Amino acid sequence: MRLSIKYLFLFFIIISISLPIFGQDDDWDLLLDKELASNKIIETATFKSSRILNGQSVELLPKMGLDFRVAHRFAEFNSTDNNFLGFDEASTYFGLYYGITNQINIGIARATYNQTNYGFVKYAFLRQSSGARNIPITMVLNASVSYTSKEYSDKKRDEDFVSRFDYTYQLLIARKFSERISFQITPTLVHRNLVETEDEPNDLYALGIGGRFLITKHIAFNAEYYWVINDASRYGYNFYDPLALGFDIQIGSHVFQLMLTNAAAMTENKFLGETSSDFFNGDIRFGFNLSQVFTLGKTKTKIKDE
């Protein structure tokens, strides 16, 4: 628990250092106007959704935007069970994301995988812009916490409330190179309060890469891969790096994401640390994310869309 508090404290220290630099005014947009002049354009639609596929993207909801999300990951196509190519089994995720400001989003979710309760906060402290000054990249801090409510086989563990928490810290760095091409890298730290053996580390380190290629105005191809730096095989587990390939289909305020992936879980701590399927051995699942965005207010930010 001390480690998790230390990382959480470090996360807020970073935010507190960033705020004097990027947010001395209460209104972020007024500050950007001063820095970039009246012809400032903030690049948006780097990705079509707040998630590339499995992982978080730099895309944020506008102030007072509400995103209702439903996601499914089905069983592996090559499963030996009679489950119709995996479609008879599904891991499900329901979430609500909200834009407190144009630069701060929060979210809560429930996932059936290990009966996980999940929450996060995303803070965009730098955004790709053009104008009197050009800012070439977008940088977003993401911190999430998850609580596993599933009963353990060892009843003594059920009595340890703190052990059920995992924490994830990410720096999302992205650039929209053109109207069609976007790219993101995501250094990630996952701290798990409980692990299977004493030899297994509580901390996982990973580096995510993801990209988007816009095929038409409303259809994009996405790819995403996370390299988990810790070698799980040293601890007797066969865990694999999560990989996902898929398409975004935008219809009005809906975004459908259809994908092939080897990850069953949909929260960072689980798909980074517990992906037991090997994509390149044919252990592939079909999955989808469905996002419905509601606008509860108006945004004053001048943005460049698509």
Highest mean pLDDT among 104-118, 140-154, 193-207: 104-118
Residue 302 banded pLDDT, cuts 50, 70, 90: very low
Query: pLDDT at position 285, please?
Result: 94
**Amino acid identity for residue 116 in this structure:** T
User: Cβ contacts of residue 184 below 8 Å, gap of 6+?
Assistant: 46, 47, 52, 57, 58, 172, 173, 174, 175, 208, 209, 210, 211
Query: pLDDT at position 133, please?
Result: 79
Average pLDDT over residues 149-169: 79
Residues for the chain: how many in total? 306
Q: Does residue 287 surpass a pLDDT of 60?
A: yes
* Contact by Cβ (8 Å): 67, 50: yes
Answer with the residue of higher pLDDT: 237 or 254: 254
Q: Does residue 238 surpass a pLDDT of 80?
A: no
How do strand 303-304 and strand 41-43 relate by DSSP bridges?
parallel
Query: pLDDT at position 163, please?
Result: 86
Query: pLDDT at position 21, please?
Result: 42
User: Cβ contacts of residue 161 below 8 Å, gap of 6+?
Assistant: none
Query: pLDDT at position 68, please?
Result: 96
**SS3 at position 17:** helix
Q: Residues 84-131: pLDDT tens digits?
A: 767 778 899 999 999 999 999 999 999 999 899 999 999 999 999 988
The pTM of this model reads 0.82
Which residue, among 44, 62, 41, 293, has the nearest Cα to 182 in the 3D structure? 44
Q: Residues 30-86: pLDDT tens digits?
A: 544 554 445 678 888 999 999 999 999 999 999 999 999 999 999 898 876 666 767
Query: pLDDT at position 235, please?
Result: 58
CATH fold for domain 2-304: Porin (2.40.160)
Query: pLDDT at position 23, please?
Result: 42
Q: What is the mean pLDDT of the chain?
A: 84
Q: What does the domain layout of the chain look like in residue ranges?
A: 2-304
Average pLDDT over residues 7-29: 47
**Amino acid identity for residue 290 in this structure:** L
Q: Does residue 19 surpass a pLDDT of 50?
A: no
